[in-house]
Structure 1
Amino acid sequence: MAIPFKRMGRKDPRKDDGVVKFHPQLVTQGQSVDLDKLAYIMKDKSSLSLGDIQSVLTNFVEAMRSELFDGKSVNIRDFGVFSLSATTQGADTKGKCTMKNIKTVNINFRPSSSVRPNLTSTRAGEKIEFLDLDAPKTKNEGGGTPDEGDNEKPGGGGDDGETPDPAA
């Protein structure tokens, strides 16, 4: 399965006269996967029942929240580290800096190198493939991507008599 992407034009927000440059933007398709779906997938790879896996995952989430809210980071080997950070408002003096200056608390995740996407991987199970949603539906004779220099039309390409499907 490939990760779909669209070509999106963006200006540099730091420049008033920024030129639009096109960037690939990854697209999430379908509904997000919840703990029940993960448990169902895991059931086929273990001797545990679906209920056992759901119970373990639910307890895992509760334990992780508890440890994070106790001021600790949670390091899951071969997965990553979860920790808390805060968005705060500055104070003029140390004495005026209180918990009231904390506006929001966020959970951060830093993936370990074993799950971090690697674009140069050559192993079949670890290789990431991409699907260009803006490419024409017909196969390109060269087997590669359409002309990347044409920023006017999605999918690039010259005048081959076909109009790209606008619903794509």
Structure 2
Amino acid sequence: MSIKYKIIERGAPGVSGGGSKKYYASTTAREKVDLKQLSERLAAISTVSEVDTIAVLQGLVHLLPEYLCNGSSISLGDFGTFTPHIRSEGKDTPEAVNAQSIKSVNVTFRPSVEFKNRMKTVRFKKHS
């Protein structure tokens, strides 16, 4: 397993003309794994059929937004936790803050310790 990367040049943020430029590693276009591929692999490493796996994953896709829209954090054990976060406009007084001040809601994923440890095994390969 390896993550392919390419080298890109970036200027300093907020500096007119970019200032002094530096080179950074950046991931290249990634292969997308869809629900069918994921369910096939899950079925191959468990006693659950591919059809049952798809059904469970589809249920998860349906239920996660429902719980998140109710303000819940969702812990999936050794996988990690999904949490809703809001972004709002700053106001001069606490009384001025209301629902219209909220501009967006985002979902963050916080991987578990086990998940993070598994990610430490990644290798990198320069994209030619």
Q: Which residue is equivalent to 2:127? A: 133
- Percent identity between matched residues is 29
Query: What's 2:29 paired with?
Result: 28
Q: Which residue of 2 aligns with 1:104?
A: 104
How large is the RMSD of aligned CA atoms in angstroms? Answer: 1.7
Distance 2:85 2:79 in 1: 19
TM-score (norm 2): 0.87
Match of 2:70, SS state, is coil
SS for the counterpart of 1:52 is helix
What is the aligned length?
125
TM-fit CA distance, 1:72: 1.1
Gaps of 5+ in 1: 119-126, 135-168
Equivalent position SS for 2:94? coil
Structure 1 residue 13 displacement after superposition:
0.9
How far apart, CA to CA, are the structure 2 residues paired with 1:78 and 1:99? 34
Larger radius of gyration: 1
More helix, by proportion: 2
Look up the SS of the partner of 1:115 in the other structure: helix
Secondary structure at the counterpart of residue 46 of structure 1 = coil
1:12 counterpart letter in structure 2: A
**Greater strand share, structure number:** 2
* Counterpart in the other structure of 2:9: 9
Q: Which runs of 4+ in 1 moved over 6 A?
A: none
State the AA in 2 paired with 1:20.
K
User: Alpha-carbon deviations, 1:92-140, whole Å to 9, x = none?
Assistant: 222221111111111111111212222xxxxxxxx22111114xxxxxx
